[in-house]
Amino acid sequence: MHSAEPNVPLTSTASPGADGLQDLLDSNRRWAEATKAREPGFFTRLARQQSPRYMWIGCADSRVPANEITGLDPGEVFVHRNVANLVVHSDLNALSTIQFAVEHLKVRHIMVVGHYGCAGVRAALRGLRIGLADNWLRHVQDVRLRHRGRLDHLPPEQQEDVLCEMNVIEQVGNVALSTVIQDAWARGQPVAVHGWVYGLKDGLLKDLGVTMQAHTEVVDVFARALKRYPRGDSAAAGGEG
């Protein structure tokens, strides 16, 4: 029976480039069987329709898989990932994904999820040249420049963690200010935008307390979140922010 199916066999003689991929295809078959056994009708239900409540905007890093970290099954979270979890105002890829999630899937929550130890954030912070992505990471450098008063006085390792968090906060703001979310809120559609950061070392997600669910609260929530990061000169400057 198996031999009649298209996936099998894929061997190194069939294609030298496929070396090692047979394991993945075998594993996939076991997963599909186990899922069907656990929940009959799972795939037929999902094949008809997806209705996720959540949208995840995360880093492309292989160590941060949205479904696994949150214990969600396929069909439960709509995912967009790129290097350093950025939402750039003119990025049609991200904006189209957000628009589809909000207007068609009617997700209730969008979480921007950064992670500590992000190579993109580190490169931006240290000015490392890694190639084409340098241009993309300029957006993270913009975040760093904008908040350098809250970053530059910290020891290097802490700077990196704080920039990971600040980058998430900025991207939450970018999602909230997008036309898609502004329009959704204007017509009364309930959708909240959240900022989380994931720890590679402990597997835990942290809520950065920057949830926005109405256009009136964007500026306040944003300002409050940033004030949690003291300025280096706050004592001398009379404690501003």
Provide the annotated active-site residues.
Answer: 59, 61, 63, 115, 118
| Cα separation, 133 vs 138, whole angstroms | 9
Collapsed DSSP state (helix, strand, coil) of residue 85: coil
Collapsed DSSP state (helix, strand, coil) of residue 113: strand
Query: Which of 55, 95, 101, 118: binder of Co ion (CB under 5 A)?
Result: 118
- Asked whether position 113 contacts Co ion by CB under 5 A, the answer is no
Q: How far is CA 105 from the centre of its chain?
A: 18
Nearest in space to 93 (alpha carbons), one of 77, 110, 80, 111: 80
Name the minimum Å distance from CB 37 to Co ion. 35
Beta bridge partners of 192: 109
Residues 5-44 contacting Co ion, CB under 5 A: none
Query: Which of 56, 57, 61, 195: binder of Co ion (CB under 5 A)?
Result: 61
* C-beta closer to Co ion: residue 123 or 193: 123
Annotate each residue in 82-111 with x if it binds Co ion (CB under 5 A) or - if it does not, as one string: ------------------------------
Backbone angles phi, psi at 101, to 5 degrees: -60, -40
Residue labelled with tokens 């076991």? 30
Angle between helices 156-177 and 218-227 (to 10 degrees): 180
* C-beta closer to Co ion: residue 59 or 66: 59
Residue labelled with tokens 């008063």? 149
Annotate each residue in 120-159 with x if it binds Co ion (CB under 5 A) or - if it does not, as one string: x---------------------------------------
* C-beta closer to Co ion: residue 84 or 193: 84
Name the minimum Å distance from CB 140 to Co ion. 10
Query: Which positions touch Co ion (CB under 5 A)?
Result: 59, 61, 118, 120
